[in-house]
Amino acid sequence: MKIDKIVTIDDLREAARRRLPRIAFDFIDGGVEAEHCLTRNREAFLEYRLLPRYFADVSKRSQKTTIFGKTYDSPFGICPTGLAGLWRTGADDMLAEAAAAANIPFAQSCASNSSVESVVARAPNNMWFQLYSTRDRELGRRLVGHVESVGIETLVLTADVPIAPKRERNMRNGFTRPLRFKMSTIIDGLSRPGWLAGYLQAGGGTPMMPNWQRYAKEGATPDEVADFFAGQTPASEQTWADLEHYRKLWPGNLVIKGLLHPEDAVRANNIGVDGIIVSNHGGRQLDMAPSPIEVLPLIRAAVGEKQVLMLDSGIRRGSDILIALCLGAQFCFIGRSTLYGIAAYGLPGAQKAISILRNEIDLNLAQMGRTSLAEIGPHCLMHRGSQFQIMAPEPASTRTGSAIHA
Ligand SMILES: Cc1cc2nc3c(=O)[nH]c(=O)nc-3n(C[C@H](O)[C@H](O)[C@H](O)COP(=O)(O)O)c2cc1C
């Protein structure tokens, strides 16, 4: 499929599906267990209607958004997505370039195959950095110190990966560490020459995780670095003390990603985070978890107006972003949308994803009779009936994080 034939994010997904071997496409596209959460993330947006107003002069429109003192050209950024070098060599460098060109933020995953220096060189004003808690706190402290030294101002701590989840597509495809391909996977890979050529050109095997390389043993191979990373995360022992620890350590903007419970959001707010990304990790962690869009109003009500709330998971349309903003998010993030673009076409594919969403936001805003994002809110939304409700308050005896490790 030629890139100029691409009209929607779903088209980009289809183009990625055609270029990648199944094992790779499924890793990006898939969710946890039965993938109910993945489906729910799309369906939750479809429960809302945007109510238009007409005879408003909408000839001049802006979707500029200011967050943490920086003004971006759209109200969305690019999510951290680890291991993207497997789908396209230099993927995160391309995502950084796309973010800089479009003036939107990009949160690099700590599990990236590009170094933080490399992405910052390409997008000095647009980079955020995402971290998982490490089992060895001292290591996390050193990593964060390094990230700060290269000029990153916003650190994103991901909360929602306490364990490695059961991703059934990966299990069926044999996506394991170290990468050992089954015969059927090799045959499938051979039928995807575009992807195979790039993969082999980059040396094949596991791509390096440069942000961990400097902490692994001298001369560690990419597989040894990946093993080192896997020994540090997920840190199942993480508690709120880890967030407090990073709050003390990090002088810049601290964002927590992956909260869904209003009480967790209140706790993060009390610890002094600068932002919360309401997220279910794109349906990749807890299959029966709510969609962020279902809990966003509860979280907004719980934390009040001052706390910066952002949202990801399931965004495939500009209208999804507008719905999230109407419900009280200040900003959104996209994960797979740009990854499909990168996997299918490299940098132009990521740019295509951004321009599709930007254009849809612009057209929908005009159709709603609004000229800026400041004009939208719950008054623009319809919803069929009652919101999801939490069925009982958390008893004090089961409150999580009460046993705080040192
Ligand atoms: C292939 C892939 C890798 C991901 N890797 C990370 C990661 O390293 N760190 C992280 O915090 N989230 C990671 N995520 C979750 C995304 O940051 C984000 O929450 C999710 O993709 C948003 O949903 P969407 O893909 O439906 O837009 C990953 C998601 C995907 C699809």
Residue whose CA is at the smallest distance from ligand 1 atom 20: 282
What pLDDT score does 393 carry? 82
CA dist 375 → 57, 365, 378 (Å): 13, 10, 10
What pLDDT score does 386 carry? 72
What pLDDT score does 169 carry? 96
Write a three-state SS string for the chain: CCHHHCCCHHHHHHHHHHHCCHHHHHHHHCCCCCCHHHHHHHHHHHCEEECCCCCCCCCCCCCCEEECCEEECCCEEECCCCCHHHCCCCHHHHHHHHHHHHCCCEEECCCCCCCHHHHHHHCCCCEEEEEECCCCHHHHHHHHHHHHHCCCCEEEEECCCCCCCCCHHHHHHCCCCCCCCCHHHHHHHHCCHHHHHHHHHCCCCCCCCHHHHCCCCCCCCHHHHHHHHHHHCCCCCCCHHHHHHHHHHCCCEEEEEEECCHHHHHHHHHHCCCEEEECCCCCCCCCCCCCHHHHHHHHHHHHCCCCEEEECCCCCCHHHHHHHHHCCCCEEEECHHHHHHHHHHCHHHHHHHHHHHHHHHHHHHHHCCCCCHHHCCHHHEEECCCCCCCCCCCCHHHCCCCCCCC
Round the average pLDDT of the chain to a whole number and report it: 94
Q: Quote the domain boundaries for residue 126.
A: 3-384
Q: Is the CB of 380 under 6 A from ligand 1?
A: no
Distance CA 80, CA 229 (A): 16
> How many angstroms separate the alpha carbon of residue 212 from the centre of ligand 1?
19
Distance CA 213, CA 226 (A): 9
Residue whose CA is at the smallest distance from ligand 1 atom 21: 335
pTM over 0.85: yes
Q: Is the CB of 298 under 6 A from ligand 1?
A: no
Q: Please list the residues that pair with 65 across neighbouring strands.
A: 72
What pLDDT score does 182 carry? 80
Residue 148 belongs to some domain of the structure:
yes
User: Is 281 a residue of the active site?
Assistant: yes
Distance CA 282, CA 31 (A): 7
Atom index in ligand 1 nearest the CA of residue 110 equals 8
Atom index in ligand 1 nearest the CA of residue 313 equals 23
Closest CA to 304 of 271, 265, 272: 265
Q: Is the CB of 329 under 6 A from ligand 1?
A: no
Atom index in ligand 1 nearest the CA of residue 84 equals 1
CATH code, 366: 3.20.20.70
Closest CA to 234 of 125, 110, 134: 134
- Domain count for the chain, please give it: 1
Q: Is the CB of 313 under 6 A from ligand 1?
A: yes
Q: Is the CB of 16 under 6 A from ligand 1?
A: no
Residue 84 belongs to some domain of the structure:
yes
Task: Going residue by residue through the chain, which has 406 residues, state the pLDDT in tens, using 9 for 90 and above.
Answer: 899 999 999 999 999 999 999 999 999 999 999 999 999 999 999 999 999 999 999 999 999 999 999 999 999 999 999 999 999 999 999 999 999 999 999 999 999 999 999 999 999 999 999 999 999 999 999 999 999 999 999 999 999 999 999 999 999 999 877 666 788 888 898 889 999 999 888 888 889 999 999 999 999 999 999 999 999 999 999 999 999 999 999 999 999 999 999 999 999 999 999 999 999 999 999 999 999 999 999 999 999 999 999 999 999 999 999 999 999 999 999 999 999 999 999 999 999 999 999 999 999 999 999 999 999 999 999 998 777 777 788 788 777 654 444 3
> How many angstroms separate the alpha carbon of residue 282 from the centre of ligand 1?
6
Residue 200 belongs to some domain of the structure:
yes
Token pair in block for residue 76: 């969305």
146, 281, 379, 405: which is the annotated catalytic residue? Answer: 281
Distance CA 333, CA 78 (A): 5
What pLDDT score does 331 carry? 98
Question: Both ends of the chain: CA-CA distance in Å?
Answer: 54
> How many angstroms separate the alpha carbon of residue 281 from the centre of ligand 1?
5
Q: Is the CB of 279 under 6 A from ligand 1?
A: yes
Atom index in ligand 1 nearest the CA of residue 156 equals 11
Buried b (16+ CB within 10 A) or exposed e, 295-322: bbbbbbebbeeebbbbbbbbbbbbbbbb
Atom index in ligand 1 nearest the CA of residue 28 equals 1
What pLDDT score does 402 carry? 47
Q: Measured on CA atoms in the order 125, 309, 256, 131, is the torsion positive or negative?
A: negative
Token pair in block for residue 61: 């429109």
Residue 406 belongs to some domain of the structure:
no
Residue 255 belongs to some domain of the structure:
yes
Taken as a whole, the chain contains a residue count of 406
What pLDDT score does 205 carry? 85
Q: Is the CB of 338 under 6 A from ligand 1?
A: no
Q: Is the CB of 315 under 6 A from ligand 1?
A: yes
Q: Is the CB of 82 under 6 A from ligand 1?
A: yes
**Which residue of 158, 284, 339 sits with most ligand 1 atoms within 8 Å of its CB, as the best mutation to test the pocket?**
284
Residue 250: CB partners within 8 Å, gap ≥ 6? 144, 148, 155
Distance CA 84, CA 92 (A): 7
Q: Is the CB of 336 under 6 A from ligand 1?
A: yes
Residue whose CA is at the smallest distance from ligand 1 atom 1: 28
pLDDT in tens, 187-238: 898 889 999 999 888 888 889 999 999 999 999 999 999 999 999 999 999 9
Distance CA 156, CA 260 (A): 16
**Which residue of 9, 42, 78, 79 sits with most ligand 1 atoms within 8 Å of its CB, as the best mutation to test the pocket?**
79
Buried b (16+ CB within 10 A) or exposed e, 117-140: ebbbebbeebbbbbbbbbeebeeb
Residue 396 belongs to some domain of the structure:
no
**Which residue of 81, 106, 209, 229 sits with most ligand 1 atoms within 8 Å of its CB, as the best mutation to test the pocket?**
81
Atom index in ligand 1 nearest the CA of residue 312 equals 22
What pLDDT score does 405 carry? 42
CB atoms < 10 A from the CB of 205, how many? 14
User: Cα–chain-centroid distance for residue 318?
Assistant: 16
What pLDDT score does 391 carry? 79
